[in-house]
């Protein structure tokens, strides 16, 4: 029997306390955001477009997911850990129809400037 217990597993429980409940908005996202056709990327679960908050002018990333249980779980888990400093922050979540399909539209902070600054330094 070995006496080695290995490194301690990280404790993420402090980051799971979400101060606000996950409550997707039901009104059309286009009331709050202008959606660009500029693609920021494509992933396994959906594509990411650039969008702009109409009130503040802030650029954001918009992840478009088909509204299926797997996508809901992804959004729920992301929402729970978004308080962590190394996790992209979720700004808004919408339940809308996009391109004729029920979708979850996830508005996230846009990190393009931060990433470029880190890469270039």
Task: Report the DSSP beta bridge partners of residue 105.
Answer: 64, 94
Of the given ranges (32-36, 41-45, 50-54), which has the lowest mean pLDDT?
41-45
> What residue ranges in 3-83 does DSSP mark as E strands?
33-42, 46-53, 59-66
- Domain boundary assignment for the chain: 23-120
How far does the chain reach from its first CA to its final CA, in angstroms?
48
Binding residues: 63
For residue 18, CA distances in Å to 61, 80, 90, 117 come to 21, 6, 12, 30
Of the given ranges (8-17, 31-40, 54-63, 80-89), which has the lowest mean pLDDT?
8-17
Residue 3: what pLDDT?
53
pLDDT digits (tens, 9 = 90+) for 74-119: 899 888 888 788 888 899 999 999 989 999 999 999 876 554 444 5
pTM (two decimals): 0.75
Q: What are phi and psi of 99, to 5 degrees?
A: 55, 40
Q: Please identify, in words, the CATH class of the domain defined by 23-120.
A: alpha beta
Neighbouring residues of 88: CB distance < 8 A, sequence distance ≥ 6: 61, 78, 82, 108, 109, 111
**pLDDT over threshold 50, residue 17:** no
Count helices and strands (H / E) in the chain. Answer: 2, 5
Binding residues for ATP: 63
Residue of higher predicted confidence among 37 and 2: 37
pLDDT cut 70: percent of the chain above it: 75
């Amino acid at each position: 029997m070995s006496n080695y217990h290995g490194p301690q597993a990280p404790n993420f429980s402090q980051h799971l306390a979400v101060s606000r409940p996950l409550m997707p908005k039901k009104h059309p996202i286009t009331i709050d955001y202008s959606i660009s056709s500029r693609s920021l990327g494509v992933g396994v679960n959906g594509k990411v477009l650039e969008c702009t908050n109409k009130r503040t002018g802030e650029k954001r990333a918009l992840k478009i997911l088909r509204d299926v249980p797997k996508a809901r779980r992804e959004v729920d888990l992301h929402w729970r850990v978004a308080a962590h400093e190394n996790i992209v922050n979720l700004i808004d979540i919408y339940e809308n129809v996009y391109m004729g399909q029920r979708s979850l539209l996830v508005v996230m902070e846009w990190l393009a400037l931060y990433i470029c600054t880190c890469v270039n330094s």
